[in-house]
Chains A and B, each alone.
Chain A
Amino acid sequence: MAEKYEARCLNCRKRFEVEKGAEIAECNHCGSKWRISWVTPEQPKVQGPA
C-alpha cells in the first residue's frame, strides 16, 4: 500500500500531497511550487519558495 505524505501549503493553507523524498512539490489546490524538507522520512514540510 502506498503511503500518503502531506504538507501544508503556505499560500492556500490546505494540505497537499508530496511524493516520498521529493525536494520540490506543487500544491494541487492552488498551484504554488515549494521546496520541501523532511522532518521525518514520513513527514514533509514546506522549506521555502521554489
Chain B
Amino acid sequence: MLQRKVAFIDLSKEKVVVQNISKELRKKHLGGRGLNWYYIYNNVTPEVEPFDPENLLVIGAGFLTGLPTLGSGRTQISTKGPMTRGVGDANMGGAFGPELRYAGFDHLVIKGKAKEPVYLFVNDGMVEIRKANHLWGLDTYEVQKALKEELGDERVESMVIGKAGENKVYFANVMNNIKNAGGRGGTGAVMGSKNLKAIAARGMMDLQIYDVDNFIEYALQMNQQVLSTKWARTLSRLGTPLLYDVSYTTGFIGTMNWQYNTPGKEGEPLEAEYLQNYIVKHTACMGCSVHCRHRVKIEKGEYAGLVTEGPEYTMMGSFGTLVGCYDWDLVIKGNDECNRWGVDNLSLGAVIAWAFELYQREIITEKDVGFKLEWGDKDAVLKLARMIVEREGIGDVLANGFIEAAKKIGEDSLYYAIQVKGHPDLHTDERGVPSFALGIATSTRGADHLRSRPAIDLFQLPEDFLEKLIGYKIKSDFTAYETKGILVWWFELYFNIVDSLGVCKFQSTFNCPHCPQYDEYVPLLKYATGMDFTKEELIQIGERNYTMERLFNIMNGMSKKDDYPPERFFKEPNQRGLPFMKGRKLDPEKYEEMLMEYYAQHGWDENGNPKKETLERLGIEEPKPNFPEVE
C-alpha cells in the first residue's frame, strides 16, 4: 500500500515527473481528499483562476481504496472550482480509483493545458499523454467504450468528461462507468478547460497488504458489521431513493424551488417502493458488499426500452420535487441524460428550478427562454437541461452557475437561488433542521450534504449513546441549535477521514450509528498498510485536512459572511409537512450562537479564521510550492 506513487503531469509542457509518497505525508494527511488538498494548498496561489492552465486538477485514490471492504472503490477529484472560486472537490465511486492503484499510482497532479484534446493512459507505473481529437464530442458512455477498444483491454477503467465538461459548464462532472460521478464542485469543467477528455487506467501491479491473514478476516468482519444494520439492508433494496420516503413525509424536501418543503400527497408516485417496478438488477462499486445501485429498465411509455443505472435520491429532487414533476420515468430518463452529458444533476436541478421560479415571478419571461417554464412541464425541464449543457440561449447564462448568472439576470434573483458560496444545494430543505443548515453553510465546497451532514441527528438517539459516539454531550432533539456546532464539527473531521481513506460514506456512521468508524479504521489501517494510527491521531488528521481546505477558501477571499445558509431559510417558514415541521424556519440569533460554537470547537476565531495556536498545533505552515520543475 505504501509503494503507490504520485505523478506530476504538465499538459502544456507534455512532461511527467513521478515521485514517491513519504510515510510522513501519510501520517499527516492519509491520502485521497487529504493529500489532494495538500498538493493544491501548496501550489495553487490566489491569483490563479479556475480555468487558468496554472490551476491544478488532482486525482487521488484513498489510502484504503481498492480493498474488498467498506465500499472502497472511491476516487477524489479536487481543484480550484469555478462556482465558488475556492475548494472544488468531488468524491466518485465505481472502479477507477482501484484501477489507478493497480496501475501504480495513488495521485495524479495535473497542471497546464494541452494544445489539443488529449487523454492520459496510466499503465503499470507510467503515464502517457495521448491524442484525443477522435474522442472529443463523444458522450461519457461512448468515450469509455472507445477507450476500452482502443487500448484493447476490457478491464480499462476511465474517468471522463462529456459534453458538459467540454463546454465548461460550471457544474460539469467527471464520470466513471454509467453513473459514478465526481459530481459537485465543477471538476469536469476544469478538466475540460485543460483539453483533457479522459484518464484511462489499467494495471497489473501487486498491491502489498501488510498482514494478509488478519486483513482477510477483519475485512470480512467489517462487511458483516455493515450488512447486519437495518440501514444497509434498506439501502441494498431501495438505494438512496429510500431517503425520499422520510423527507417528503416529514417535510424537508425542497419543492418547486424550495417554495415548499414537500409536495405532500402529490409526491406519492415517487415513493421508493415504486422504483421496484423498474429494477432489473442490483449493482455495486468495486469493494462494496452493500450494492446500493440499480440497473433499471423503462418498459413502457415515451422512454420505453431505456436500460440504465440509477437514479439516486438527488435526481428525485432535481427532475422531481424541485420542478413539480412526480414521475419515475422522467427521473430515470433525465438521470441517464445527465450521466451521458457528465453534469452534476444536483446543481443542474437547482439551477433549473431557480429558472422556473424566476419565470413564475416574471423576472425572466418566455421571450428570454424561448418557451414557457411551468411547474410540472417535463418537456420544459429536459429542454432547458439540454440548453444548459449545450450552452444555447439562456442556457449559456445558467451554465455559469448562480453567481455569474445573477449578474446577468439581476442581483435580486439571487434570493431565490438556494446556494452557499455560489454552490447549489442538494434538494433537501434544511430550514427545519439546524445541524443540516450549519453543515451546508460551513461546507468547504459550498452548499453540500456530504461534507458533514449528521443524518443520524434525525433519529433522536439517546444522549448517552450520542456522547459515547461523539465524545461530547449532544442534544438528542434535532430541532435544537445548542451543541449542534460540535456535532457538525465532528462530522466534518470524520467525513474528511472517510474521503481520505477512500471508503464509502454509506458504510460509515453517516446514516447509521452502528457502521464502522475510527475504532474500526485503526486495525484496518494496521493490517492493510502496516502503519500505526490511534483514533486521536486520525481525528487530528481530519482536523488538519479540513483546516487546510478552510485556509484555501480564506486565501481565495471567503470569510464568515460565506458561512450562512440561504436567506430564504431565515425568512420564509415551512408551510407543509408533519406538525412539528410546519412553521419552522431558521432563527438568526440561535444560528449565530451555533456558528460561534462551531468556530470555537475548530479553534477558529469569531471571524472563522483559524487561530495561530490551532495552526501550530496542527503543524500547518504557509503554502510552499512543490510541483517539480519540468523543462
Please list the residues of chain A having a beta carbon within 8 angstroms of any beta carbon in chain B.
8, 10-11, 13, 37, 39-40, 43, 45-49
Contacts and interface: CB of A to CB of B under 8 A. Distances in A.
B20 to A, nearest CB: 47
Contacts of A13: 458-460
A8 B234 CA distance: 13
Which applies to chain B's interface (DSSP): helix, strand, loop or mixed? helix
Given A37-B273, A47-B273, A10 B250 contact: yes
A29 B268 CA distance: 25
Interface of B: 230, 233-234, 237-238, 242, 245-246, 248-250, 265, 268, 271-273, 458-460, 578-580
B233 A10 contact: no
Given A43-B230, A47-B273, A10 B238 contact: no
B580 A39 contact: no
Contacts, number: 42
Which applies to chain A's interface (DSSP): helix, strand, loop or mixed? strand
Contact of A39 (B237, B248, B460): B237
B249 A45 contact: no
A43 B234 contact: yes
Contacts of B273: 37, 47
Given A13-B459, A37-B273, A45 B580 contact: no
A46 B233 contact: no
Nearest to A12: B460
Nearest to B264: A49
Q: Which 8 A-B pairs have the closest CB atoms?
A: A13-B460, A37-B273, A39-B234, A10-B249, A39-B237, A10-B250, A48-B249, A11-B578
A13 B456 CA distance: 11
A10 B234 CA distance: 16
Given A11-B580, A47-B271, A48-B268, A40 B233 contact: yes
Instruction: Please indicate which of the listed interface residues B230, B238, B271, B580 has the most CB atoms of chain A within 10 Å of its own CB.
Output: B230
A48 B271 contact: yes
B578 A48 contact: no
Contacts of A40: 233, 237
Contacts of B578: 10-11
A47 B233 contact: no
Contacts of B238: 39
A47 B245 contact: yes
A27 to B, nearest CB: 12
Given A46-B245, A48-B248, A49-B265, 4 more contacts: A37-B272, A39-B238, A45-B242, A48-B249
Contacts of B459: 8, 13
24 contacts: A8-B459, A10-B250, A10-B578, A13-B460, A37-B273, A39-B234, A39-B237, A40-B233, A40-B237, A43-B230, A43-B233, A45-B242, A46-B245, A46-B249, A47-B271, A47-B272, A47-B273, A48-B245, A48-B248, A48-B249, A48-B268, A48-B271, A49-B249, A49-B265
Contacts of B250: 10
Contacts of B579: 11
A48 B273 CA distance: 10
A40 B233 CA distance: 8
A46 B459 CA distance: 14
A45 B245 contact: yes
